[in-house]
Copies of this chain bind each other. A is one copy, B any other.
Amino acid sequence: MEILTENRSVKHHCGLFGVFGHADAAALAHLGLFAQQHRGQESAGICTTDGETISRIAEMGLVNDIFTKRRLESLRNPAAIGHVRYSTTGSCSDQNAQPLMFSFAGGQVAIAHNGNLINAALLRQKYESHGHIFQTTSDTEVIIHLLAKPAHQEKTRPLVHVLNHLQGAYSLLLLFPDRMIAARDPLGFRPLCLGKMPNGATVVASETCALDIIDAEYVRDVEPGEIVTVTKEGVKSHRFGGDTNGRGAACIFEQIYFADPSSNIFGENVHLVRDRMGRRLSHEAPVDADMVVPVPNCARCAAIGYSNESGIPLGRGFTTSHYAGRSFIMPDQSSRVHQVKVKLRVIRDVVRGKRLIVVEDSVVRGTTTRGKIGALRKAGATEIHLRVASPPIRHGCYFGIDFPDVSKLVATNRTIEQIRDYLEVDSLHFLSADGMLDCVKMPRNKYCTACFTGDYPVEVKEPFDKFSMERSQLRMFT
């Protein structure tokens, strides 16, 4: 037997949730994290405070497995922050599960982070050279080292001062015994929004779907370069980060793939953005066919747009399993039993003899897409025209998305024709970068499209990998 593990290409993203001023803060955090489980399935954690002391439960696993009734009751306190994470490491260690909790001269603090600090390794080196010791391999730990520095603590606004040291992407939640703080980097890479419970409690979440599940009302987004401090006295806002010349860096890939279709992020609904991308796609590369088939699950929004715009009927080419876990034991002799089959099943009688327009949201390595195309072909599709609702991914991300090495991206060093050939489709079109940006609402300079265009919103001077946490991670956990 061989063990077949899933080979997700895009695996690093995190979700945040916080609530201040509600007796059931831990139970609300449980629901808020559950609603954002798609943002990270490897670990989950909640920290709560009773006003004086912070408690923490965080470990590897799914939200609903970790937080039993008994554990939630042990965390029952009027304020909570939580985190879900799909780490970059694949390690089974609980040590990096967030929120992290530390003690320093100022007392206790817990922190949850979505994003990636590109100068974390340099900062860590610096603090190590000053004698600091580290317990995790997370870039998040350096933020607390910065915060604990006496010279920083003496500033009028220590956190403003600290955040000005950070480079990269960070939506943050901090919990002190008496207050909760939310912050978003000046370019606004990752989403973060504010909501309000019927009882007046303040809620913070990565996506609005976490507000919906607890009947919280959406108030507004945390602005890029904004720190929001929530105490018993109320909510205060401070700005940091200086002038970005109007530049923003909202991650367009959140709209394309990460966020839940029911969420509103960066000012608009995710499904509708994807629907528009599908419509646009139908204009950029029209083709005559019998049926538009979405590749589950993410491409369904774009496929609906494509079908409605083109008038070519939508067809259900696949069913999906709702029970798939991480790995399967495969029989030796059935080498043709591909992993794709475990999660997706072709409805053969639907696709047999048909000319298909297959809509994907994005293509990363190409291996999974290739498997799905092969399954449709084997089921008897006569033509397969692949339409991808985003441009080819050809550049790495240093801001929180864990693409594989550039060398493993299907579009690296391949022309569109070569990709078409590799994927074994009859025709192939990727949405143009222009087309993509036409489908979103904010001005173009407010988005980061670096993975598609190589146009990084922040100069990444040092060969990032050289100082990456991953190296020390290897040293600590391998």
Contacts and interface: CB of A to CB of B under 8 A. Distances in A.
A84 to B, nearest CB: 10
Given A1-B73, A134-B103, A348-B262, A474 B53 contact: yes
Interface in A200-255: 209, 212-215
Nearest to A71: B329
A199 to B, nearest CB: 6
A148 interface: yes
B1 A72 contact: yes
B214 A475 contact: no
A256 to B, nearest CB: 15
Nearest to A311: B311
A434 interface: no
A69 interface: yes
B214 A271 contact: no
A22 interface: yes
B145 A133 contact: yes
A421 to B, nearest CB: 26
B334 A476 contact: no
A440 to B, nearest CB: 14
Interface stretch (A337-345, A363-371, A444-452, A457-465): A337-345
B131 A476 contact: no
Interface string A329-361: 111111011000110011111100000000000
A105 B134 contact: no
Contact of A316 (B54, B130, B133, B300): B300
Contact of A350 (B102, B272, B350, B477): B272
A472 interface: yes
A3 B108 contact: no
A104 interface: yes
B213 A342 contact: yes
A375 to B, nearest CB: 9
Copies, count:
4
Interface residues of A, number: 109
B260 A319 contact: yes
A262 B319 CA distance: 6
B342 A31 contact: yes
A345 B261 CA distance: 9
Given A72-B329, A323-B62, A102 B345 contact: no
B133 A144 contact: yes
B149 A477 contact: no
Task: Name the residue in A41, A152, A313 with the highest tally of chain B Cβ atoms < 10 Å from its Cβ.
Answer: A313
A103 B476 contact: yes
B316 A308 contact: no
A156 interface: no
A443 interface: no
A27 interface: yes
A262 B347 contact: yes
Contact of A131 (B34, B150, B262): B150
A220 B465 CA distance: 48
A133 B108 contact: no
A30 interface: yes
A314 interface: yes
A64 B5 CA distance: 13
Contact of A314 (B148, B150, B307): B307
